[in-house]
C-alpha cells in the first residue's frame, strides 16, 4: 500500500486535473495555462491560471510539493521540533465575471515532520474554504455553510463550529477596522 504522503500527492494532482477540466468546460472559452516551477531548497509545483473567459475573469488551481530543513523560525512559529519537513497541497482562487457569483478560495495541505533518520514524527492536514460574495444572497450563504456543517458533522459534530470560528478569526482585515472577508467558511491547521 502506498504511503499517506504518496496517496496525497496523487490525490491533489488528480483533483487539479479534474477541477481544471470542469472549469474549462463550464467556461467554454478560456483554458488553463500551466507554469511548472521548482523551489531551489527542494520541490516545486504546477501553477494553472485561467483568464478572460466567458464565465471566469481569472482563476488559479495550483499544486505544490515542497520540502526542506526545519529552521529555527519554523520551530518557534509552529512549536515543532524535527530535522526535515515536507508539505504538499492545492490552492484555488476563482474570480467570476458575473458580480452575482461569489469569489471562492480554498487551500488544503498535508505537512509531515521527520527526525534526523527520516522517520515521520508528526503529520497533519490543514486548510479551508471561504466564500466572498459581491452581492449577498442569504439562502446561498446558508447553503454554503450547511454543506460544510454536514460534511464536518460526518466526522465529529464539534468540528464545524470550531473550524468556522477559526475561519472567521483568520480572515479578518485588521488594517481595515476588522473588516471580514466575505461570509467565512471553515479553516483548520496544526
- Among the listed residues 105, 143, 145, 175, the single catalytic one is 105
Residue 13 annotated in active site: no
DSSP designation for 176: G
The H or E element spanning position 80 is: none
- Close Cβ partners of 105 (under 8 Å, ≥ 6 residues apart): 91, 92, 93, 129, 130, 131, 132
- Which ranges of 28-93 would DSSP assign to H, the alpha helix? 72-78
Other residues' Cβ atoms within 10 Å of the Cβ of residue 88: 22
**CA 20 – CA 42 distance, rounded (Å):** 26
Q: Which residues are catalytic?
A: 105
Amino acid at each position: 500500500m502506498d504511503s499517506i504522503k504518496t496517496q496525497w500527492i496523487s490525490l491533489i494532482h488528480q483533483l487539479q486535473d479534474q477541477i481544471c477540466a470542469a472549469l474549462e468546460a463550464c467556461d467554454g472559452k478560456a483554458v488553463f495555462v500551466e507554469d511548472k516551477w521548482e523551489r531551489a531548497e527542494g520541490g516545486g509545483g504546477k501553477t494553472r491560471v485561467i483568464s478572460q473567459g466567458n464565465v471566469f475573469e481569472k482563476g488559479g488551481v495550483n499544486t505544490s510539493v515542497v520540502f526542506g530543513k526545519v529552521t529555527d523560525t519554523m520551530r518557534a512559529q509552529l512549536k515543532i521540533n524535527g530535522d526535515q519537513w515536507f508539505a504538499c497541497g492545492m490552492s484555488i482562487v476563482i474570480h467570476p465575471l458575473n458580480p452575482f457569483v461569489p469569489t471562492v478560495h480554498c487551500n488544503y495541505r498535508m505537512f509531515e515532520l521527520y527526525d534526523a533518520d527520516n522517520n515521520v514524527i508528526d503529520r497533519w492536514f490543514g486548510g479551508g474554504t471561504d466564500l466572498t460574495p459581491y452581492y449577498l444572497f442569504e439562502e446561498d450563504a446558508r447553503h454554503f455553510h450547511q454543506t460544510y456543517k454536514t460534511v464536518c458533522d460526518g466526522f465529529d459534530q464539534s468540528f464545524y463550529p470550531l473550524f468556522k470560528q477559526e475561519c472567521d478569526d483568520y480572515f479578518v482585515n485588521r488594517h481595515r477596522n476588522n473588516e471580514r472577508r466575505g461570509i467565512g467558511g471553515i479553516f483548520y491547521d496544526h
